[in-house]
Every structure is written in structure tokens, then in C-alpha cells.
Amino acid sequence: MGFFDFLKKKEPKVTVTVSAKENTFGELQQQKEIAIVETKELACKAFPSKNGLRPHEIFMLSYAPHYNTEGNSFPQFWHYDFGVDNPQAILNMLLERGFIRIATAKESVEKLKVPELKEILSEHGIKAAGKKADLVASVRENISEEDLGTKIPFRRYALTDLGKQEVKENEYVIYFGSSTKYGLTVWDMNRMIQGYPSHLYRDKIWGHLNKKAQESAESLQKDNDIYSFYLREISLRYEMCDFLIEENKHPLDALKLWATAAFYDIMVESPADMKMSLDLEKYKVDPTMKRIKDPKTGESILVEDNSPLQFRDKLNLSFKVSSVRILKEKLGFSDDELFQNLVLFFQECQPVMYELIRNRNITKLNLSHEDIAGLVVAESNEDSKISDTIYKDIEIQIKQDKSPVWKK
């Protein structure tokens, strides 16, 4: 019995909803404020480090050397992404608890502008030439701390040994910051590493990705939605490839993961996406809109997008092959070796079960494994002559496909 044999055919139930409505400024602001409140709750509930700092405080600690002891202007991300209303209060706390100190004049000299550096050097009869880094080095080498103190009234913060150790032991905070990576936030990781060495947080990320793979397979057995399964696989395999590249480990395994994602991306998601767009055009629904910069006012405006549908744009492979370029270099592959390995990996992918896809009007593409590998190699080399030929063939197949369009 095959992995997908339990799936049973069901009549498709399709609902198409198209809307060009955008949220108002007030609605967007309300959503932001709700998100800030939620972030503040996460910060309050976060587990402190062994030295008593929570993630947002550790992140501020890592940023401390960029700030002065007074007169700072803090970017809005502290408020919107970390729920911090008073960043200076956190800096004051870190100073009081010995995580940071006030930097010396020589440590703060980088804050000076080039003309200021040249002026200091000239006043002491020292040649002022070269780039800023050269000027900074010359000032530190030739001007005493006492003399610099009169020229640099401000001071930056510097990490103490305790602060450096805190940042090192909680590297996950700096890695995640305010971003979401692999479906995880810094708050997620803060919970996941409890009772686990925090410096091994990347093991938790890999475990999380493998858990997602298991849950994806279990979801398929429950809902029989193989199209959604393919979408999850595409996203997950790309993520796992990216993770291995970050780790600088197992480049051949990473390439295989990427190839698996690309195979279903090219054969399933992108054709379905393009076919849907073509079908919706037949219904004459609201036009597709795009946001551009008004050449007269410079403001962002919505305009109708009349550009022809192209499979290249749906797939966006020119961006995704950046991972292939990295892995090709790590493996020392020639174009031919890359091509042969991609063909092998594509052959190992399970054939797309188009007959089991529900609620999607999708074209069954007639592409060989060599065609797909050739497209990837061409895109990685920015060879538009070859890729254009393959893209044109794919577009002809999709546009000439007479399978039923969306039904109400």
C-alpha cells in the first residue's frame, strides 16, 4: 500500500473570493496597537536568563554599544517589535546592574565625523590622511585619553565582561531579534530552551522543522488534502535547506532538500497559481492591483496591473536559486555535475498525484526531470536564452489546457 493510497476521491467544493479592499490607516494602526499589547504580554511572561534578563533586555544589551549615555534617538522597532516604551530605562538598568559601562573617550572616537577626526589630529601636529578607519586608529594611537576627553563630551556604552558573557550565553536572542525564522520567534525559542542548554538552540530549530514534517504527513492522513500537503512540503524543504546552509553542514543533503521543494514548486504550486489567475480573468473579476510610487508626488498609490501573466513571475526561481549557487560552490560542482545531481534528486521525488488534487484547477505539466534541471542550472547562471525557452513551453501548456475552470 502506497503512502497516498488511503486518499479517497471527493467532489470538489470551490469558493472563490476576490477583494481589492485595503485596510484603512486607522485599522492598520489598531492592528499594530493590538500586536504591541500582545508583545508586551509575551515579554512579561518570558523566562529570564540565569542573570535575570528577559529577551528584550538582552537584545538591548547587544545594541548598547551603539548608543550614547544621553541624547539618544531610539528607532520605533523597540516599541513595535519588543513592546519597549522607554529604551533608555533599560539601558540605565543594565548600567546599574553591571552589564554595561560608560565607554572611554578612545572607545567612543568612532562616533566622530571625519572632519572632527582630522581637526583633532591636525591640532596635535599629526598627519590627517586616509579613510575614517585610518583616522580613528591614528587618533587612538597618538592622542591621550585626557586630551580626547575634552574633545568628546559624549560617551558611548560598552559591554562589561558580564555583559559579553550574557550575550554569548543567549545567542538565540540576537539571532532571532524581532524577526520570525522558520516559523519561530524569540519568544517561542525562549520557551523551547527551558531546561536545555541555551547555546544549543539551533538543535531546537532543527527539531522544530522535523516536527513540522511529521505533522504535515499526519495532517494529510486526516484531511486528504494533498494540495495543501504539497504546499507545506515546498515551504518546509526550502526552510530545511536554508537551515543547513546557515549551519554550513551537509551541502549535498541541503541540495536534495532544495530540489524536492523546487520540483513540487514547479510542477504543482506555480502552475496552480498561474492557472487560477488565468481562470479568474475569465470571470472578469476586479482587476489585479499593484502598488507603485507616484512619479509626481512620490507617494505610494494603487494602480491596475495590466502586465501579462508569466510563469517566470509566479515561480520566482531567479531568487530561489541563490541557495543553489551557494551549494554549488560548497560542493565544487561544475554545471554538468550540478545538472546530473539535480536530475537524480528529481527522479527520487514521488510523481505528482494530479488526480488526487481537490479544489484546484491545475495543469499537468509535461516536463522531464532533465527539463527541470536544465531550467535550474540556466537560472543559476542567469542564462535567459535557455530559461526563456522552457518558460515559454510551460506557459503554452497552461494556456492551452482545456480542463474545467473554477465552478461555483
Instruction: Using CB atoms within 10 Å of the CB of residue 60, give its burial: 0 to 12 exposed, 13 to 18 middle, 19+ buried.
Output: buried
pLDDT band at 12 (very low <50, low <70, confident <90, very high): very low
Res. 74: pLDDT tops 60: yes
Runs of H (alpha helix) within 101-160: 105-108, 114-123, 132-142, 145-151
Q: What angle do CA 240, 275, 285 make, to 5 degrees?
A: 120
3 pLDDT tier (thresholds 50, 70, 90):
very low
Query: What residues contact residue 51 under an 8 Å CB cut-off, 6+ apart?
Result: 99, 162, 166
In this prediction, residue 162 has a pLDDT band, given cuts at 50, 70 and 90, of: very high
At 119, list the grid cell.
Answer: 581637526
285 pLDDT band, cuts 50/70/90, is low
| Residues 288-321: tens digit of each pLDDT | 677 778 888 888 887 776 667 789 999 999 999 9
User: Residues 23-67: pLDDT tens digits?
Assistant: 777 777 788 888 889 999 999 999 999 999 999 999 999 999 999
Q: What is the pLDDT of residue 404?
A: 57
Give 306: exposed, middle or buried? Use CB within 10 Å, 0-12, 13-18, 19+.
Answer: exposed
Q: Up-side HSE of residue 48: CA atoms within 13 Å toward CB?
A: 6
- Packing angle, helices 251-264 and 226-247, rounded to 10: 150
As a whole number, the mean pLDDT across the chain is: 88
Q: What is the pTM of this model?
A: 0.80
Residue identified by cell 554569548 is 168
**pLDDT at residue 21 in the model:** 57
184: confidence class by pLDDT, cuts 50, 70, 90 = very high
What is the pLDDT, as a whole number, of residue 284?
Answer: 58
Q: What is the pLDDT, as a whole number, of residue 398?
A: 92
Categorize the per-residue pLDDT at 167 as very low, low, confident or very high, splitting at 50, 70 and 90: very high
- Note the residue count of the chain: 408
Domain boundaries along the sequence of the chain: 25-176, 225-400
10 pLDDT higher than 70: no
Crossing angle, helix 322-331 and helix 226-247, to 10 degrees? 50
Q: How far apart are CA 55 and CA 90, in angstroms?
A: 12
The secondary structure of residue 102, as a DSSP letter, is E
Q: Which pLDDT value is given to residue 7?
A: 46
Measured CA to CA in angstroms, residue 334 lies from 33, 211, 256, 331 at distances of: 52, 35, 17, 9
Q: Mean pLDDT over residues 112-121, rounded?
A: 88
Which pLDDT score is estimated for 22? Answer: 62
- Nine cell digits for residue 279: 481562470
DSSP 3-state assignment of 61? helix
For the residues 249-261, what does the mean pLDDT come to? Answer: 98
Range 139-158 average pLDDT: 85
